[in-house]
DNA sequence: CCTTGCACCTGTAGTGACTACAGGGTCTAA
DNA sequence: TTAGACCCTGTAGTCACTACAGGTGCAAGG
């Protein structure tokens, strides 16, 4: 297979998918992406199916799914055994964990704001934030 | 220095501070915690000041500060150059990054709920969540 | 005094999800 | 033809821990 100027190389796939080129190699290594064909020079040449799969992964990552969760979703797709029931279970679990993270962050924000309220913010050498944090 | 049943060993410090015993060793290695004295058998023996510092670190971690941010806060304390101005700047930056994280998570949650709404959740072999994620 | 068993010691490797590098080879446009 | 952009490989680094292996110290019970 000779090189062709229209070949989708790793860099091109990276740009089209919005996934870093090194990350694509990483996904291949951990077997989240299949090995593509190579041209005569050993360069990876991708097909449309790779782009679709990579975009799927990117979107899932944007929604905070872990790679293992994505692996599970992809295995349903690969085995053509997608069922609403199963997918919705995974999605629901994920929503719950997001909700917990939001709660945790809101608590942090609250505590930090309470502390900052006691603090003048002026250039004085005694800070109530530090004092509070140092109390045993 | 002989061993003493009242000595604060690493395990005792771990319990009192709520920080994992291995983590204490890690904090020492990265020079966030100072090296304590050792008894004749080579075991670490901690003082009150270590407990205070470790609790400070734990509280900061609970508020989501990175170890590098904590290092900065601690260096102010160590140099006795705490100023409200500086501390409040660090705290404010941190509040902003927390707020951004909350926003990101809320967006995720929204998208995921929109997707899930289109999904019956029944045991059917075509899931609109997957379909949507697969679209290029 | 001796033994048992827990806590401690050290250094190192693993986690997740990448990212960056070194030291080479390939490809393309001027 | 050649410069330089891209690609190849394997490996090491990131963050904040956590877990392990293989050995030593210590306190309490018999």
What are the tokens at A121?
Answer: 């913010």
As a residue count, chain B comes to 136
Which residue stretches of chain A have pLDDT < 70?
A: 1-3, 136
The answer to whether strand D lies under 7 Å from the CB of residue A44 is yes
The answer to whether strand D lies under 7 Å from the CB of residue A42 is yes
Query: What is the spatial distance between Cα A113 and Cα A117, in angstroms, rounded to a whole number?
Result: 6
B35, pLDDT greater than 60: yes
Q: Do A127 and B83 touch (CB under 8 A)?
A: yes
Query: What is the spatial distance between Cα A68 and Cα A32, in angstroms, rounded to a whole number?
Result: 9
What pLDDT, in 10s, does the model give residues B58-75?
Answer: 999 999 999 999 999 999
DSSP 8-state secondary structure symbol assigned to residue A42: S
At a CB cut-off of 8 Å and minimum separation 6, what does B82 contact?
A: A125, A126, A127, A130, B76
B2, pLDDT greater than 70: no
Residue B46, helix vs strand vs coil: strand
Q: Do A121 and B88 touch (CB under 8 A)?
A: yes
pLDDT of residue B6: 80
In whole angstroms, C26 C1' to A4 CA is: 13
Query: What is the spatial distance between Cα A101 and Cα B69, in angstroms, rounded to a whole number?
Result: 21
Query: Do B83 and A123 contact (CB within 8 A), yes or no?
Result: yes
Query: For all residues of chain A together, what is the average pLDDT?
Result: 92
Residue A91: name the closest of B125, B101, B105, B111 by CA: B111
The answer to whether strand C lies under 7 Å from the CB of residue A40 is yes
ipTM of the complex: 0.88
Chain C positions with a protein C-beta closer than 7 Å: 7-10, 16-21, 25-29
Residue A15, helix vs strand vs coil: helix
What pLDDT, in 10s, does the model give residues B61-114?
Answer: 999 999 999 999 999 999 988 888 889 999 999 999 999 999 999 999 999 998
Q: At what angle do helices A48-62 and A10-17 cross, to 10 degrees?
A: 40
pLDDT of residue A45: 98
């Amino acid at each position: 297979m000779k090189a062709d100027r229209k070949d989708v190389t790793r860099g091109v796939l990276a740009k089209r998918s919005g996934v870093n080129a090194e990350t694509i190699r990483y996904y291949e290594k951990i077997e989240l992406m299949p090995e593509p064909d190579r041209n005569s020079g050993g360069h990876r040449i991708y097909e449309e199916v790779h782009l679709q799969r990579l975009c799927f992964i990117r979107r899932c990552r944007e929604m905070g799914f872990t790679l293992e969760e994505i692996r599970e979703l992809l295995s349903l797709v690969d085995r053509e055994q997608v069922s609403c029931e199963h997918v919705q279970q995974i999605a629901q679990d994920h929503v719950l964990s997001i909700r917990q993270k939001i709660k945790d962050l809101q608590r942090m924000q609250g505590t930090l704001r309470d502390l900052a309220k006691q603090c003048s913010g002026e250039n004085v050498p005694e800070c109530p934030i530090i004092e509070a944090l140092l109390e045993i």
